């Protein structure tokens, strides 16, 4: 299990834009796919070309090939959108829906007992990816989308995912965060290191945030085989709640998921 879902270091730092000349077709195709994001789910040929920094003619040719295999689809307006076929294939990612499948009953338990937001995330490159969330309608608003990214600093999930990294991998992630607002907000590297040490000592990460909505988040690590931390589980409650009252329940649910992971075939 751990072998399968441990974050591969190789995937870090490969997202930089490169000139299309001599670039392998697969890399160019994925640059097209990476042009989509939450506020750009449907792209015209021109905007796909612009956002992927790919010449129009190349964009057209590659996009049509991606439509052929189902990685892209065209909507009613003729815009390109990510295809359901890609979702089918991607649903087999052990660190995505594979993890989710195993974790879901525990998330469900935690949600039913607390009636608050419950979130599950993994590390990918230098950011965290939200794998699943269970939310009660009307619970305190949180801004992250399933399958979307969240910052590693200033989120309880992120701190847990960082706290157990090997030194060189941590340095790599923090270097990638340098230009992010949240590293500025997190303060001096020493402050980050102190925060991570506190997580390692207590086994939970706690965040009090005032913006955009005042919340308290408590997260705990999920461990796969060989005890490697492969994911994090959090609960998000309105500001003013005592985080200590949530530590036991989050840690307990995270341990349940860890045990299920270790005995799974992922």
Rounded CA gap, 39 and 19, in Å? 25
| Residue among 138 and 212 whose Cβ is closer to its own copies | 138
Token look-up 């060989």 returns 226
Work out how close the CB of 9 gets to its own copies at its nearest, in angstroms, rounded to a whole number. Answer: 10
Contact 232, 160 (CB under 8 A): yes
Work out how close the CB of 146 gets to its own copies at its nearest, in angstroms, rounded to a whole number. Answer: 6
Work out how close the CB of 42 gets to its own copies at its nearest, in angstroms, rounded to a whole number. Answer: 6
Rounded CA gap, 251 and 228, in Å? 16
| Residue among 139 and 198 whose Cβ is closer to its own copies | 139
26 Cβ neighbours under 8 A, 6+ residues apart? none
Work out how close the CB of 133 gets to its own copies at its nearest, in angstroms, rounded to a whole number. Answer: 9
Burial 33-65 (b: 16+ CB within 10 A, else e): bebbeeeeebbeeeebbebbebeeeebeebbee
Burial class (CB in 10 A: 0-12, 13-18, 19+), 131: buried
Work out how close the CB of 71 gets to its own copies at its nearest, in angstroms, rounded to a whole number. Answer: 7
| Residue among 13 and 187 whose Cβ is closer to its own copies | 13
Contact 164, 200 (CB under 8 A): yes
| Residue among 95 and 117 whose Cβ is closer to its own copies | 95
131 token code pair: 């794998």
| Residue among 62 and 215 whose Cβ is closer to its own copies | 62
38 token code pair: 């939450």
Work out how close the CB of 245 gets to its own copies at its nearest, in angstroms, rounded to a whole number. Answer: 25
Burial class (CB in 10 A: 0-12, 13-18, 19+), 101: middle
| Residue among 176 and 198 whose Cβ is closer to its own copies | 176
């Amino acid at each position: 299990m751990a072998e399968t879902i441990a974050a591969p270091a190789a995937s870090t730092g490969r997202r930089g834009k490169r000139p299309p000349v001599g670039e392998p077709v697969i890399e160019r195709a994925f640059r097209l796919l990476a042009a989509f994001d939450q506020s750009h789910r449907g792209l015209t040929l021109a905007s796909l070309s612009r956002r992927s920094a790919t010449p129009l003619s190349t964009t057209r040719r590659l996009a049509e090939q991606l439509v052929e295999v189902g990685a892209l689809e065209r909507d009613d307006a003729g815009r390109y959108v990510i295809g359901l076929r890609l979702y089918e294939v991607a649903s087999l990612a052990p660190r995505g829906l594979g993890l989710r499948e195993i974790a879901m009953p525990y998330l469900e338990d935690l949600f039913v007992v607390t009636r608050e937001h419950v979130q599950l995330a993994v590390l990918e490159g230098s950011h965290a990816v939200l794998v699943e969330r269970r939310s009660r309608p009307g619970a305190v608003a949180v801004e992250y989308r399933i399958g979307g990214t969240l910052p590693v600093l200033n989120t309880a999930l992120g701190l847990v995912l960082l706290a157990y990294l090997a030194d060189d991998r941590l340095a790599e992630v923090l270097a990638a965060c340098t230009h992010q607002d949240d590293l500025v907000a997190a303060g001096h590297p020493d402050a980050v290191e102190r925060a991570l040490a506190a997580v390692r000592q207590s086994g939970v990460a706690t965040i009090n945030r005032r913006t955009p909505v005042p919340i308290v988040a408590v997260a705990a690590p999920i461990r796969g085989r060989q005890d490697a931390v492969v994911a994090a589980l959090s609960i998000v409650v309105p500001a003013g709640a005592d985080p200590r009252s949530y530590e036991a329940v989050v840690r307990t649910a995270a341990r349940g998921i860890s045990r299920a992971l270790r005995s799974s075939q992922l």
